[in-house]
Amino acid sequence: MKNPELMALIEEHHLTSKMISDMLDVPFETVRNWRRNETSSATKMSKANLKLLKLSLAK
C-alpha cells in the first residue's frame, strides 16, 4: 500500500474521498488516486498534504 497513513486516518475518522478533497482543497480524483492499491496507478500522497490532513482532523 502506497499510503498506509492515509488509509489509517480514513478508517479511524470514517472519512470519505469527498471529505478529504474538501478539507485539502484538492480534486476528488486526486484523493481517489491516493486511495488506490499498490498494483494500480496509485500516486503517493505528499507529506505536506498528509500533515495538513492530520492538522485538519485535530481541530
**C-alpha cell at position 5:** 497513513
Q: Where are the domains of the chain?
A: 4-57
Whether 53 contacts 9, CB under 8 Å: yes
Distance CA 3, CA 37 (A): 9
pLDDT at 6 (0 to 100): 96
Exposure of 25 in the CB half-sphere (CA atoms within 13 A): 3
pLDDT per position as a tens digit, 1-41:
689 999 999 999 999 999 999 999 999 999 999 998 776 66
Q: Does domain 4-57 have CATH number 1.10.10?
A: no
* Res. 49: pLDDT tops 80: yes
Supply the DSSP string of the chain, one letter for each residue: ---HHHHHHHHHHT--HHHHHHHHT--HHHHHHHHS-TTTT--PPPHHHHHHHHHHHT-
